[in-house]
Amino acid sequence: MTGSETPARIPPGGFRELGPVNWAIAKAGARGIRAPKFHLMNVLGQHRLLFLAWLPFSGYLLYAGKLSRQDAETVILRVGHLRDCEYELQQHRRLARSRGLDAATQAAIFEGPDAEGLTPRQRILVTATDEFVITRSMSTETWTALAKLYTRAQLIEFCTLAGQYDALAATMATLRIPLDFPD
């Protein structure tokens, strides 16, 4: 969420609302995604200290975590789909392509764990994400399958990643953060 259909509840801020540090971070982020503004940062950055605490955590999960970047994007795309979060999907469709998840694979991730074109690993990830987001837990069968793929640290990170992006989707939807790209 959201597009141009609903006004932002907290409009993206500029230098005055963000302060010099968060404004500079938001500008660098916008350059990184090749957009005039990175609306998520221009909104969250208005809570200056929370933004500075959240950013390294989020950045670690996205860029340096123990899950492969393809696995992380599979989870993020599935969370965005389950939560109907167009902002999250718009950002991560692009990033996922750069990490080797083409349009056909992404469509299969959106379709669900039984979709044609998913690898056995992706089926487990989509199933685990569905259970985690929808039931707030995971069946023994799914946990066992996921535990065959991951170490303990990766299992913890899987839960944290899915939870982080679920919370982010809820925050973006509630605050009605505008999309960064017109498409």
- Hey, which CATH number is domain 66-174, 2.40.50.140, 1.20.1290.10, 2.40.30.10, 3.40.50.2300? 1.20.1290.10
How does pLDDT run across 143-153, given as a tens digit for each residue? Answer: 999 999 999 99
Mean pLDDT of the chain: 95
Please give the pLDDT value at position 5: 65
How does pLDDT run across 1-34, given as a tens digit for each residue? Answer: 444 568 999 999 999 999 999 999 999 999 999 9
CA nearest neighbour of 41 among 30, 49, 32: 30
Please give the pLDDT value at position 1: 43
